[in-house]
Amino acid sequence: MVDIGIYPNPEGSDKIVQFMQSGGSGFSSLEEAAEAISRFIPHRKKPKDLSGLNKNLRLKEDGKYYWHWDPKFLQRRSERKPGEESEFYKDQEESAKNIKIPTLLIRGALSDVLTEEDKDHFLNTIKHSEFKEIKEAAHMVAGDKNDIFAESIISFLTKSN
């Protein structure tokens, strides 16, 4: 699991959803998308070569770039009625108690999505799980510190095999 627990911090999660929604009408250029990303994650240096954004954006017939995720994902979240979210997370917790495979929880040290309390709750719920914190990374751990992230995953998988 990467920077998400059983009960994600609502403030951090809401920031991510707001960012995802901000590109709903598309971007006129990769530069415009890069500016939006820089506002959302100011700790990460904006790359000079923006071609990597083509992995995350799709150029559509209207000439605009759109995030590659399905906007219906966000729509389902906004359609939840008050109280449904806590039921959803309770179901997740019950499911988590049944996890028997090796499990690694990774947190970006700068993240506001996975709190210390939720990290502890996750580790207590899935007792055999392991934890790794990536310094100088926020919620987008793999994008912030990909080498350290990949090294952590490879080490965990090697040890678990």
Q: Which residue segments constitute the domains of the chain, with CATH numbers given? A: 12-72 (no CATH), 81-160 (3.40.50.1820)
Q: Of all helices (H) and strands (E), which one includes residue 124?
A: helix 116-125
pLDDT at 109: 93
pLDDT at 161: 83
23: amino acid identity, one letter: G
pLDDT at 78: 60
For the chain, 161 residues long, the average pLDDT of each consecutive 10-residue run is: 88 84 90 92 85 90 90 65 69 92 95 93 96 91 89 96 83
Residue 141 contacts residue 134 (beta carbons within 8 Å): yes
